[in-house]
Structure 1
Amino acid sequence: MLWNIISWTVFGLIAGAIARLLVPGRQSIGWIMTILLGIIGSFVGGFLFSLLPFGSEPGFHPANLIGSVIGAVVVLLIYISVTKKA
């Protein structure tokens, strides 16, 4: 149980950090928001990949990391558009 929490946190941090590097501009979010961004992005990316014919494989697979980063980028762009000052 503890190992799962640690692995989700590390995986979320990696996916969120990569997403923040890919999205241009400055995002004023901290490490905890980056981790949450990556974790939520993993769910979004997993959902998007499940719609594709090849699906997603369980466990750690490079395609899962790519899907997580894509999902995190989508979530980050939504977050930026929602919190953007008019």
Structure 2
Amino acid sequence: MGLIWTLIIGGIIGWLGGLIIGRDIPGGIIGNIIAGFIGAFLGSLILGDWGPVVGGFYLIPAIIGAIILTFIVGFFLKKMRHTA
């Protein structure tokens, strides 16, 4: 049950990151889960481990990391579309 809970929270974090910035992560649910995990890692590197913890994720750094990741991915996808 712990793994399922972690995947659900990771997906919600990725979805929130895309929702806040107004861009979608490619890949649907799987993309949101991946963005949540990478965003949590990125946020912890940048901001450290603080704030409320749910499903093994520090929520505030994870959401900020997901926002940063969504922005970067969206920027590169937009650039790739313009050059193709």
TM bin (shorter chain): 0.7 to 0.9
> Contact 1:22 / 1:73 at 8 angstroms: preserved in 2?
yes
Structure having the larger proportion of residues in strand? 2
Q: What is the distance in 1 between the residues matched to 2:42 and 2:8?
A: 17
Provide runs of 4+ in structure 1 moved above 2 Å.
26-29, 55-61
Shift of 1:65: 0.5
TM-score, length of structure 1 as denominator length: 0.74
Q: Which blocks of at least 5 consecutive residues in structure 1 are unaligned?
A: none
Question: How many equivalent pairs are there?
Answer: 78
Mapped pair 1:27 → 2:21: no
- What is the alpha-carbon root mean square deviation over aligned residues? 2.5
TM-score, length of structure 2 as denominator length: 0.76
Structure having the larger proportion of residues in helix? 2
